[in-house]
Amino acid sequence: MLYEKKPGVPEFECTEYKEKNSDYVVLIPIINEGARIHNELERAKKAEVSSYADIVICDGGSTDGCTDEAKLRALNVNTLLVKKSEGKQGAQLRMGIWWALERGYEGIITIDGNDKDSIEDVPRFIDKLKQGYDLIQGSRFIKGGHAVNTPFIRTVSVRLLHAPVISLTARQRFTDTTNAYRAYSRRYLTDERVQPLRDVFMTYELLAYLSVRATQLNMKACEIPVTRAYPAEGKTPTKISFFKGNWELLKILFKNAAGAYAP
């Protein structure tokens, strides 16, 4: 089914493999992740994640065959969404969030599709949603979390720059603020003071904004321990280029601190 572009939501194609089976959904934004997304979904299948939440792929237009229908069906994917208009990660997430809210989910978990994160921990996010938390941030840096082979520059930039600025903006301490492994309540995402479905969120703006808005509105937020593991050898799986990408992240960080994304 093709959904036409509307304010705050890109045009996208939806292929539902299964009906809605849960009150919770895992949104996985990807583009050309190859074997990495299949490995992640294999781990999810082994951990029976689909018995806790529906798994939905939010594709940005992959051309490497990683969204092959037979493969995704075999790996317990519930639905494939494919973005057809402009935007990067932020647009993929807006597509997924809109669709998930329309389908009636009570909580949304997001996780990267590059096989770095402990998708086995999805039930722990759901437990916190059931306890009434509106934002649950996964962290490799708190007790019980594991940072495996994290590049030194990434550790320094997160812990000494990104996390302190986000914490000051949010008025609550967070430790792993570039980590997209997190959960949001329906109450948070549908609050008129939040409005995540806006075209200003094209790249990484939405992650920064949703990191701080919940606690600014006195909603409940917390961190839970997760694992983020980089490969010991080879190229680091990331879509953020060292110079341009990190400069764009810095600009978003400080615009967010100045309140530029508040409705």
Query: pLDDT tens, 240-251?
Result: 444 455 668 889
User: Residue 35: pLDDT above 80?
Assistant: yes
User: Residue 238: pLDDT above 60?
Assistant: no
User: Residue 209: pLDDT above 80?
Assistant: yes
Which tens digit of pLDDT belongs to each residue from 65-120?
A: 999 999 999 999 999 999 999 899 999 999 999 999 999 999 999 999 999 999 99
Q: Name the helix (H) or strand (E) containing 13.
A: strand 12-16
* CA separation for the pair 211, 188 (Å, rounded): 11
Number of neighbouring beta carbons within 10 Å of residue 25: 26
pLDDT of residue 234: 57
* CA separation for the pair 50, 184 (Å, rounded): 18
CATH architecture entry for 2-149+179-197+218-231: Alpha-Beta Complex (3.90)
pLDDT of residue 250: 85
Q: CB-based contacts of 24: which residues, under 8 Å, 6+ apart? A: 52, 53, 54, 105, 106, 107, 108, 109, 126, 129
pLDDT of residue 236: 54
Which tens digit of pLDDT belongs to each residue from 121-168?
A: 999 999 999 999 999 999 999 999 999 999 988 888 888 888 999 999
User: Residue 192: pLDDT above 60?
Assistant: yes
pLDDT category, 16, cuts 50, 70, 90?
A: very high
* CA separation for the pair 8, 201 (Å, rounded): 8
Chain mean pLDDT for the chain: 94
Which tens digit of pLDDT belongs to each residue from 156-189?
A: 888 888 899 999 999 999 999 999 999 999 999 9
pLDDT of residue 241: 45
pLDDT of residue 242: 46
Residue predicted with more confidence, 5 or 240: 5
* CA separation for the pair 105, 24 (Å, rounded): 5
* CA separation for the pair 106, 100 (Å, rounded): 9
Residue 201 tokens read as 């969120």
Residue predicted with more confidence, 242 or 202: 202
User: Residue 237: pLDDT above 80?
Assistant: no
* CA separation for the pair 99, 105 (Å, rounded): 9
Q: How far is CA 50 from the centre of its chain?
A: 17
pTM of the model: 0.94
Measured torsion, CA atoms of residues 34, 46, 185, 159, in degrees rounded to the nearest 10? -60
- All structural domains of the chain with their residue ranges: 2-149+179-197+218-231
